Amino acid sequence: MPRAESASSAHLPAAGKRLPVSTYRLQLGPDLTFAQAEAAVPYLADLGVSELYLSPILQAAPGSTHGYDVVDHDRISDVMGGREAFEQLSRTAHAAGLGVVVDVVPNHMAVPTPAWHNRALWSVLKHGPASPYAPWFDVELDDDRSGILMPVLGQRIGAVLAAGELVLDRAVIPTEPELGEQAVLRYFDHIFPVRPETEQLPLAELVERQFYRLSYWRVADEELNYRRFFDVGTLAAIRVEDPEVFDASHALLLDLMRAGHIDAFRIDHPDGLADPRGYFQRLSEATGGAWVAAEKILEGEEELPADWPVAGTTGYDAAWRIQALLTDPAGAVGLGSLMQQLTGDAPGDLPALVETSKRQIVATSLYAEVHRLTTILSELCEGDVRLRDHTFRSLQDCVVELLVAFDRYRAYVVPGEHPPATSERAVLEVAEVARGRLEPDRHDTLDVVVDLILGREVGSAGRTREARRDELVVRFQQTCGAVMAKGVEDTAYYRWTHLVSLCEVGSSPDHFSISPDELHGWVAGITASHPATMSAGSTHDTKRGEDVRSRLGVLSELPGPWTALVTALREATEPIRPADLDGRTENLLWQTLAGTWTAEGPISAERLTQYLTKAVREQKSWTTWTDPATTREEELLAYATALLTHPDVVAAFEQWVAQTDRHVRAAVLGAKLAQLTLVGVADVYQGSEITQTSLVDPDNRRPVDFAGLHARLGRLDAGQGPGDLDETKLALTAATLRLRRRHPDAFVGPDARYAPLPTSTGHAVAYARSDSGGPRAVALLTRLSVGLDALGGFGESTVVLPEGRWRDTLTGTVVDGGTQRLADLLSRHPVALLEIA
């Protein structure tokens, strides 16, 4: 929808720029090309979305299934169809009234196999400091250093050379065909350039003279000397804070925007950047103030930095609150008891588990980053007589404790600026936690480290703005994000099994549940500050799809029956259960079955075992990606597979599905209605307009039958009533998206308003969405239907609707404003979406 000229806000697009109303996320790749996406446009237009929301479209590494491993910023993905096919998709979308939002990856590029696929990296590996791309990568290059670490060898370099596995060869490099055959080093599938004028040297000396260092793969976690994406050595960070790097890496996307093929951007992981605010300011200027969403994970009550010129987040903050709203606080004790029985973890143990997980990460996969921070600190102290008695060991101890204690992805401290009060307070509060964990002898060192990472004057007078000090300020913040992501999201949240639907990306599992009033308060605040932020239910990064989380949420309403089911099935399957089955893994397994078992039965053994393999390796308790406990894993997977056909398990879950059917229906539809109406720009992840059993990626990237969905939508539009939950969810999604399209200003933009509506029961949540002309829509959803059934239903409970005549978009029923019985409004569905008549 084009935005009115009079609208103005730091968090809304500039006048004349497109303001999305709703988005539909497409995960492009080999299985969903631009042409295939184009074929889906008529369906998406009929569904009611306002924008296509595309995963990264630039050229990615060979075999990429997601596009976040970019190798060339000057090319549109060949696998997806190339630039012409993308532009055709854009033209078709715009002709259908849809805008185009594209995902941008500014933080890193791939280290592909072979390396020549990334011509920028190839050039740096070949020419070192003389390469025109030398400023791109976050690594120091000069003849006195050992070179960029390339940890690709299956054994130590001496053994590789002795075995003759590394050979000098000649090849024509596709990215440099004009050079003809050139010298290269081959190691199986890996190909590396040879530094000019070194190819005549003996092999060992030649290897030593390169601008890169070939090494055993295990060296990476201890000696990696380039910044990477979290702990992924095949994703090398780039210095997008350099204006030339920004311009070069964004040129094609910005050209496509200026040509009208792209309308808006989603920015991946801005917390990894050296200067997120500066990046967004530069992007806003370059796009003329286009709508931009930031993939920012906010912890607890943390707020998006007000000085970022972005529309808002990508919606994790909405997703976890919706799930918590539909989780019964009364279930915490019963589920906690079951967790303690199976795992030994007590309900209050989460903070300690998070601490343990983060300590493991900083001591292992992120040790290189910790060592690099400590090295910078040590150099700063050694270079200042007033600081030189702070030893490397003491500095490292302080760095570790600060990283472990840090409770968010980063504090926004900019070198040369006094830090914002919120950032300074965040660092100082963490410092007090760290102080309590350090020996008293380390406290003076901690004070020095804190002053340095806050950019304060410390040591000799006047020493604040130095390159190395500035680097420390930035790198500490970048490392905080990596520790949070790997220690919390990808370790602790796989270990904590109180209720696994609460352990989601960007979630807050220490909040087992939130009340309607808490939700209303948060929505009011975010609507006032970021009226065009995103709301999400499922994304390509969620560990479980929205419907899996909804099914799991029902466990909180039935903790007693669920405990009885698990207890009975543990006894029934005891003869086949591995003797050393990890308790956390077992609790995760039972809940995964509950979240994915439907009337059609369980998910396939292949999908379940792929998920469990990833989950237990991410737990890092008894097996890992780098040191898999193969035999024990095989025993677990055999047990899990056997459960899918075990007569007692099948009978129990069939009964459970039947017993919880109406409650799952209320939770699934309630979550979807809330997600599509609560705040800002509503996103629909591909396929989530019907129920899914999706688990963590790559499971959530399975192909979607868009033609089949279009046909089902057509039958609903022709008057055929929904036959099952899938069709009811599809009808609800379409009705909500179409209503948003009719009344966009009630949901996004400066005039959008949100108002809770009074109900006489805590089992219903109601609110109105309004624009400058008054209320346009009312959302009404059932909350915690098990408890509602125990009360005998809504009875005489009521809701007070705004004045006017209201039509239910799902049933066509028309009612008057004022006090209405909930039992009447929700007689056919557990949710209602009313539109002003």
pLDDT, one tens digit per residue, over 57-93 is 999 999 999 999 999 999 999 999 999 999 999 999 9
Between CA 316 and CA 322 the distance in angstroms is: 10
Does pLDDT of 587 surpass 80? yes
Does pLDDT of 253 surpass 70? yes
- Say which CATH superfamily domain 115-237 falls into: Maltooligosyl trehalose synthase, domain 2 (3.30.1590.10)
Give yes or no for a contact between 565 and 648, defined as CB atoms under 8 angstroms apart.
no
Residues 6+ apart with CB under 8 A from 71: 59, 60, 61, 109, 110, 112, 117, 118, 119
Q: What are residue 250's DSSP bridge partners?
A: none
Residue 129: how many other CB atoms lie within 10 Å: 12
pLDDT tier for residue 8 given thresholds of 50, 70 and 90:
very low
Between CA 240 and CA 172 the distance in angstroms is: 31
Lowest mean pLDDT among 6-10, 389-393, 787-791: 6-10
Q: First CA to last CA across the chain, in angstroms?
A: 23
pLDDT tier for residue 233 given thresholds of 50, 70 and 90:
confident
Q: What are residue 768's DSSP bridge partners?
A: 755, 778
Which amino acid does the sequence have at 425?
Answer: R
Query: What average pLDDT does this structure show over 109-118?
Result: 95
Buried b / exposed e along 295-332 (16+ C-beta atoms within 10 A): bbbbbeebebbeebbbbbbbbbbbbbbbbbbbbbeebb
Buried b / exposed e along 491-505 (16+ C-beta atoms within 10 A): bbbbbbbbbbbbbbb
CA distances from 608 to 21, 552, 576, 638, 696 (A): 36, 16, 18, 11, 11
Find, among 797, 739, 749, the residue nearest to 772 by Cα.
749
Query: According to the model, what pLDDT value does residue 106 have?
Result: 97
Q: Domain extents for the chain? A: 22-107+240-314, 115-237, 352-493
Between CA 515 and CA 815 the distance in angstroms is: 28
Residue the block writes with tokens 């609110």: 767
Query: According to the model, what pLDDT value does residue 4 have?
Result: 39
Does pLDDT of 444 surpass 80? yes
pLDDT tier for residue 3 given thresholds of 50, 70 and 90:
very low
Residues 6+ apart with CB under 8 A from 408: 298, 299, 302, 426, 480, 484
Q: Give the dihedral sign, CA 126/128/134/136.
A: positive
Residues 6+ apart with CB under 8 A from 802: 757, 768, 774, 775, 778, 817
Query: According to the model, what pLDDT value does residue 516 have?
Result: 97
Between CA 556 and CA 65 the distance in angstroms is: 36
Between CA 629 and CA 616 the distance in angstroms is: 10
Does pLDDT of 460 surpass 90? no
The greatest distance separating any two alpha carbons of the chain, rounded to the nearest whole angstrom, comes to 91
Strands 292-294 and 312-313: parallel
SS3 of residue 376 by DSSP = helix
Tokens of 82: 């190339």
Residues 6+ apart with CB under 8 A from 132: 123
Output the average pLDDT for the chain: 95
Does pLDDT of 433 surpass 50? yes
Does pLDDT of 141 surpass 90? no
Between CA 157 and CA 163 the distance in angstroms is: 10
Query: Looking at the domain 22-107+240-314, which fold is it?
Result: TIM Barrel (3.20.20)
Does pLDDT of 5 surpass 50? no
Query: According to the model, what pLDDT value does residue 142 have?
Result: 62
Lowest mean pLDDT among 144-153, 240-249, 663-672: 144-153
Tokens of 716: 């609903």
Question: Do 115-237 and 22-107+240-314 fall under one CATH topology?
Answer: no
DSSP secondary structure code for residue 492 in this structure: I
Query: According to the model, what pLDDT value does residue 300 have?
Result: 85
Q: What are residue 753's DSSP bridge partners?
A: 770
Find, among 829, 768, 819, the residue nearest to 797 by Cα.
819
Q: Kindly give the residue spans of alpha helices, DSSP state H, lying in 168-289.
A: 203-208, 220-223, 243-258, 276-287
Between CA 416 and CA 101 the distance in angstroms is: 35
pLDDT tier for residue 222 given thresholds of 50, 70 and 90:
confident
Does pLDDT of 697 surpass 90? yes
Between CA 212 and CA 152 the distance in angstroms is: 12
Query: According to the model, what pLDDT value does residue 225 have?
Result: 81
pLDDT tier for residue 1 given thresholds of 50, 70 and 90:
very low
Give yes or no for a contact between 162 and 251, defined as CB atoms under 8 angstroms apart.
no
